Amino acid sequence: MAKPLSEETFGSAALGFQVAGDADRVVAARTAEVESAVLKSWEDHLAPQFPRDLAVVATAALGRRELFPCSDVDLLLLVNREPESEAARNALSAFLASLWDRGMRVSHSVRTPADCCQLHPHNLELIVSLFDARFLAGDAGLFEPFRLRLASFVASHRAWLAQGLCRMARQRHARFHDTIYHLEPDIKESPGGFRDLHLVRWLTQLETADKTRIPAPERPPSLEPARHLLWTLRCYLHFRASRDYNRLDFEAQQGLSEQPFSRGRDPAAWMREYFRHARVVFRAAVEALEEVESRSSPLLSSFQAWRSRLSNADFSVRRERIYFRAPAAQMQDPERMLGLFEFAARHGFRPSWEAERQIRERLNALRDWALRGRALWPWFRTVCSLPHAPVALRAMHETGVLGTLFPEWQQIESLVIWDWYHRYTVDEHTLVSIEALAALRQPREGLLRHFSQLVEEAGDPAPLICALLFHDTGKASRGAPHPLESARLARQALRRIAAPEEICERVGWLIEQHLSLSEVMCTRDPDDPSTAACVAQRVGTLEALRQLTLLTYADITAVNPEAMTAWRLQQLWRLYLVTYKELTRELEADRIGPSSEQFPEMASFLEGLPVRYLRTHSPAAVEQHFRLYQQALRQGVALSLERREDLYCLTVITRDRPFLLASLAGALSGFGMNVLKAEAFSNQQAMVLDTFVFEDPNRTLELNPSEKERFHRVVARAALGQLRPGDLPAHRSGQPHRRGRAISPSVTFDSETSPSATLLEVVAEDRPGLLYDLATVISSHGCNIELVLLDTQARKALDVFYITKDGRKLEPDLEAALREQLLDVCRG
Amino acid sequence: MKKIEAIIQPFKLDDVKEALKNIGIDGMTVSEVRGHGRQKGHKEVYRGQEYQVDLLPKIKIEMVVPSARADEVIRTVIQSARTGKIGDGKIFVYDVVDAIRIRNEDRGEAAL
């Protein structure tokens, strides 16, 4: 009996490969060796029994002459009719057994030409494997008509076959979550692997097949480097495992770097190279898939044509992809080029393949342009704030624009960090986390509904998306803990594009803290009051708590598709809830004492303000408030107005009195201002510090400088209770901006959270004048507003009032009366 | 041999693992589970709306130990998992008929 093929040659072939890493040579040698073995077995066992009426045909990998060390050997035994005699069957068995004995894993089928050309979904893989059918031995007169019949069949059913191939490819991609960036990729099945390389080839063959032949296509030069790498990796994996094993797992990655042909390249460098090439293959495969799919579905084509009407002067949309209208001019102007990503973020389309190529060709110019220090923040903020920001960011990543604008991001491109939990490379994990956050914008069920609400309430998503984008950039360096290093890189990147300092700091803080809620979830008892106090101390405000909770949610969700279990979701929500309650409680209950260690000279101002005041205001802001306080003691009232980008911030300090908040809110409303945030705290001396953040939709203050002075005067009079008829401009009533889902109002009272006041929480659709109306109702019932915290996000006003009547909490009947009137006010 | 199954508070996992490691118990299976005993969940209020939380997050630790060490392991789990509050969890103990190490077919305590 012949010595098994694998034992005979495997060892020496493996040794040769280790040194030279020449996969082409290995594959050619293996193919020749197997062919020769098949011919020998045919001569020994089949030729005597089948002088004609049987042909041995190489298919699939053997047909293509692409046999790897442990690949299956696919053979078609072509017959005119099923062999029936016992002698014929014995001969076939002996033929196959001899190949198995020689160490080959033979995958064979005995078929007639008619069997091979049947239109049946289960036949698809067989038909595709026959595209590369090659006569090896036997009755050549049987093979030639079969070849013609197959070509004619394929040409006649081109569309059906192409659609079947596309369906199979999409299903395979979906199994891998449509991404190439797996930490331990299967180089055969994963997107960007062998199957995709073959898919491109098969679709080309289908395209070019005619009634007489299915031509073997040339290897596309653009895919040759990728093919070469994939061949090298597959040979290595087969030799290493001595079987058809194609998963580039962590151990294999380490082993790869130790191969002589690796020449000192470390595992990370190998994986970067793998992903770089897999990206090229995946892109080619998807391009080919889209081409077929758009041709084969009239419904899809007409939907895509309908969506094309979103084209504008700069960009046209065809088949859901964006094209530059005037590429030559637009490529010369980086700002116009970057406009494509804003368009993508707005409408959710990806750049066309052509546009991607055009952008990639201009990356060097973009780098030179960006490095000169460009104020890109307004553009980047817009991209991050638009509904399809994840699509735009992914497109920026795929085209290399993200890494060009942010060299900090380059460090995590295709970066593999070995651990038991993560499924993806660091860059892919980051993009998936941003997608997880965006997915919360859709209505969700169960506990996820609360997280969707948090997204609505978190307001401008840009800081949160920036935090996610950079949260793991520090993983590439081996110095400081990665949250600190990532925060440093984020601040550096955002300052370079001229983001406001408060955004840089907020993003930096979120990144520094991005693991803290996870740690608390695992190590602290959520029912222990000290847990909530500790987290509340760390986050400081409800706004920061919301953002950190969402960041934690997105980060865990992106670890792997199973990571965010209902168990973890519930843990995270519980932690949010206890901290939310603590932040709400401490606002009223924890007050600054008679002496402040931090600001002893300001003790009289600070005494009685919430402890949180010092946590949430910078020393400079506290200084400024103190100066206003001193001025207010002399003059009765002091105020300052400053502009922050599109918004204004008004600070008023005056002595407390009934209807104070209603008067100030009324003054703002009278000028047509829309209050988005407000705080009102009083100190021990009954001096009230009111802060309003508002927008000026009519641009009154910007377009009429004289109105600024009048605005100051009117607000001061309102603070002192001295408003006169005619002080306010004609009332500009505002209607809620009705778009999207209606927000049903809710009014709730809580007498347990605070020891001395009733907490009133109002959730309503925002409209100009809402705060004025709410405060007027409360004051008209003789209630005193001790403290206010008001926030408006995405049309939803979240107002918290701490109120008392005659120094005590409210009685139930008063609560009922207030609730009814407040709900009326909320409904407008 | 005894199989010890402990349902504990999630935040006590590190403490319990550390305590078991200190007495030489390294092998265990840990699962994230949800359930309730007499604690029966609780009501949560958010934005004025009440939500009934029926199943609470817990951690389940399973280990098989020689019978002679079972009491020591149980004591260790109790000491390290106890907070004294409702919801600390439970420990269940089962007799184990046999254990087999798949790799080499060791049996009984030798397989642990």
Tell me the per-residue pLDDT of A356-394, one tens digit each, with 9 for 90 and over: 999 999 999 999 998 887 899 999 999 999 999 999 999
Number of structural domains (chain A) is 5
Domain of residue A194 covers 174-287
Asked whether residue A810 falls in the same domain as residue A670, the answer is yes
Query: Which of B7, B8, B9, B11 best tests the A interface by mutation, with the highest count of A CBs <10 A?
Result: B11
**Chain B residue set in contact with A, beta carbons under 8 Å:** 9-11, 13-14, 32-34, 44, 46-49, 53, 56-57, 83, 85, 87
Residue A736's pLDDT is: 47
Confidence label for B49 from pLDDT (cuts 50, 70 and 90): low
Residue B111 pLDDT more than 80? yes
- The answer to the question of residue A594 being in a domain is no
Out of A522, A580, A748, the one facing B48 most closely (by C-beta) is A748
For A166-178, what is the mean pLDDT? 94
Residue A339 is assigned to a structural domain of this protein: yes
Q: Point out the domain boundary residue: A244, A266, A287.
A: A287
Average pLDDT on A265-291 reads 93
**CA A764/CA A95 separation, integer angstroms:** 80
* A764 and A781 co-located in one domain: yes
Last residue of a domain, one of A287, A308, A332: A287
Band of the pLDDT at A738, cuts 50, 70, 90? Answer: very low
Write out A518-551 in H/E/C secondary structure.
HHHHHHCCCCCHHHHHHHHHHHCCHHHHHHHHHH
Asked if A813 and A694 sit in the same domain, the reply is yes
Distance from CA of A242 to the nearest CA of B (A): 21
Q: Which two tokens stand for residue B71?
A: 């009491």
Q: Are residues A68 and A135 in the same domain?
A: yes
Q: What share of chain A in percent tops pLDDT 70? A: 95
A741: pLDDT strictly greater than 60? no
Do the domain assignments include residue A164?
Answer: no
* Whether the predicted pLDDT of A828 surpasses 80: no
A395 and A444 assigned to the same domain: no
Select from A525, A580, A750 the Cβ nearest to the Cβ of B83: A525
**Averaged pLDDT for residues A505-509:** 96
pLDDT of residue A2: 38
Kindly report the CATH number assigned to the domain that includes residue A33. 3.30.460.10
Question: CB distance A570–B34 less than 8 Å?
Answer: yes
A787 vs A553, more confident? A553
A449 CB neighbours in chain B (<8 A) are none
pLDDT (mean) for B24-33: 92
pLDDT surpasses 60 at A1: no
Q: How far apart are CA A383 and CA A393, in angstroms?
A: 8
CB-CB neighbors (< 8 A) of A523 in chain B? 11, 14
What is the set of domains in chain B, with CATH numbers? 2-111 (3.30.70.120)
The whole-number pLDDT of residue A381 equals 95
Residue A674 pLDDT > 70? yes
* Bridge partners (DSSP) listed for residue A678: A692, A790
Q: How far apart are CA A516 and CA A596, in angstroms?
A: 29
Whether the Cβ atoms of residue A798 and residue A790 lie closer than 8 Å to each other: yes
In terms of domains, do A283 and A303 share one? no
The nearest CA of chain A is from the CA of B15 a distance in Å of: 9
Q: Looking at the structure, do residues A266 and A214 belong to the same domain, yes or no?
A: yes
Cβ separation A571–B57 shorter than 8 A: yes
Confidence of residue A106 (pLDDT cuts 50, 70, 90): very high
Q: Looking at the partner chain, which of A521, A523, A567 has a beta carbon nearest the beta carbon of B34?
A: A567
Residue A4 pLDDT exceeds 50: no
Q: In this complex, which of A566, A567, A748 lies closest to B47 when CB atoms are compared?
A: A748
Q: Are B58 and B12 in contact, with CB atoms under 8 Å apart?
A: no
Nearest residue of B to residue A518, measured between CA atoms: B11
Q: Give the pLDDT confidence score for residue A120 in this predicted structure.
A: 75
Statement: residue A727 has pLDDT above 90 = no
Residue A774: inside a domain, yes or no?
yes
Q: Give the torsion sign (CA, A20, A24, A28, A33).
A: positive
- What's the pTM value of the predicted model, to 2 decimals? 0.78
One domain, residues A149 and A195: no
Q: From residue A557, how far is each of A394, A431, A474, A519 by CA, in Å?
A: 18, 11, 20, 16
ipTM attached to this prediction:
0.75
Q: Find the range with the poorest average confidence among A442-446, A651-655, B82-86, B91-95.
A: A442-446
Q: Same structural domain for residues A414 and A393?
A: no
- Inside any domain, residue A163: no
A207 in any annotated domain = yes
In a domain, A167, yes or no: no
Q: Give the closest-approach CA distance of B12 to chain A in angstroms.
A: 7
Q: Does A714 lie in the same domain as A646? A: yes
Interface contact B14-A523, CB threshold 8 A: yes
Give residue B40's pLDDT: 66
A747 to chain B, minimum CA–CA distance in Å?
Answer: 8
Chain A hits for B85, Cβ within 8 Å: 525, 527
Residues A560 and A621 in one domain: no
Give contacts of B11 with chain A, Cβ < 8 Å.
521-526
Task: Clarify whether residues A546 and A482 are in a common domain.
Answer: yes
Task: Answer positive or negative: Cα dihedral of A808, A809, A811, A815.
Answer: positive
Q: What is the percentage of chain B residues whose pLDDT exceeds 90?
A: 64
- Indicate the residue among A254, A287, A320 that finishes a domain: A287
| A169 within some domain | no
A414: three-class secondary structure by DSSP: coil
A335: domain CATH number?
A: 1.10.110
Average pLDDT over residues A681-702: 88
- Contacts A747 to B, Cβ<8 Å: 48
Cα distance from A525 to chain B (closest Cα, Å)? 6
